[in-house]
Amino acid sequence: MLKPVRTIRLFPSFLEGIVVTYHQVLEAFKEGGLKGLLRPRFFRNRKATPVVMDLSSITIPTDVLRDSNCKFIELKLENLVEGNLFFKSFSRGVKASRNLKRGWRGFALIQGDLVVGDIWCVVPFEDGIPAAHPDLAMLGITCGAKDAYAFDMYISPVHRGENLAAPFQRSLQAALKSEGWCKVYGYYWDDNLPALWMHRVLKFKELPKRQVSRFLFYQKADTIIKASHLA
């Protein structure tokens, strides 16, 4: 049963991380196991490929979502507080409120009032402070004054296989380009084949690969391969 996300009223900020983890565990059991939950927290020598898209070099059609019945919107705190949107994954709703309160920007694909997918980005602050996110140190990326970093794209499991990922990314790029941002950075894990092919289909430029080991809050990352470039 879908529940309206009213996370700002229900959970103080210091509890949101606990609530997210608790519901992720419940959702993992419902989907058949904890492997998908544990893997992002425990791994050794996993390869990641940072990528960048020069937004000035792309032309994005206005009807990029024409083959779906989805609408692209920016998420706002008031949408979550007032319960105007529904998340099938409760943990994504709690994470959305936490991210927005951190000053990160969220965008969503919606069907009616149902959130089909969400994606997040950080941009430099108005006073010139560069964009900041824990991933950037791992990836060896420093964002410039007109650069954004996009991360944590999620599409609801029941809507995977509907060819939404690439149009979703393009919609985000269109929104950032319209605001005057010049580049958007991101990354994918090399063993995540759908993500790999999506980034290559969209012709992201690949930056030097990183070899990452992680154990809960401990993380180590090293550059392992010279940059490769896609045409």
For the stretch 41-69, pLDDT in tens is 687 899 999 999 999 988 877 778 888 88
DSSP structure class, residue 203: T
**Res. 1 pLDDT band, cuts 50 70 90:** very low
Q: What is the CATH number of the domain that holds 155?
A: 3.40.630.30
Number of domains in the chain: 1
* Distance separating alpha carbons of residues 165 and 162, to the nearest angstrom: 8
Would you say residue 230 lies in a domain?
no
Give residues with Cβ within 8 angstroms of 220, minimum separation 6: 212, 213, 214
Tokens of 153: 């794209």
Q: Which residues contact 20 (CB under 8 A, 6 or more apart)?
A: 91, 94, 95, 98
Q: What is the overall mean pLDDT for the chain?
A: 82
Q: Has residue 231 been placed in a domain? A: no
Range of the domain at 216: 3-225
Is 163 part of a structural domain of the chain? yes
Sequence-distant (6+) residues with CB within 8 A of 185 are 50, 51, 52, 136, 139, 141, 143, 147, 148, 149, 150
The reply to whether 83 falls in a domain is yes
The answer to whether residue 19 is domain-embedded is yes
Report the phi/psi class of residue 197: left, alpha or beta, with left for phi > 0 and alpha for psi in -120 to 50: alpha
Asked, for residue 81, whether it belongs to a domain, the answer is yes
pLDDT of the residue at 95: 85
Nearest-angstrom CA–CA distance, 202 and 170: 8
End-to-end alpha-carbon separation of the chain, Å? 45
Q: Model-level pTM? A: 0.84
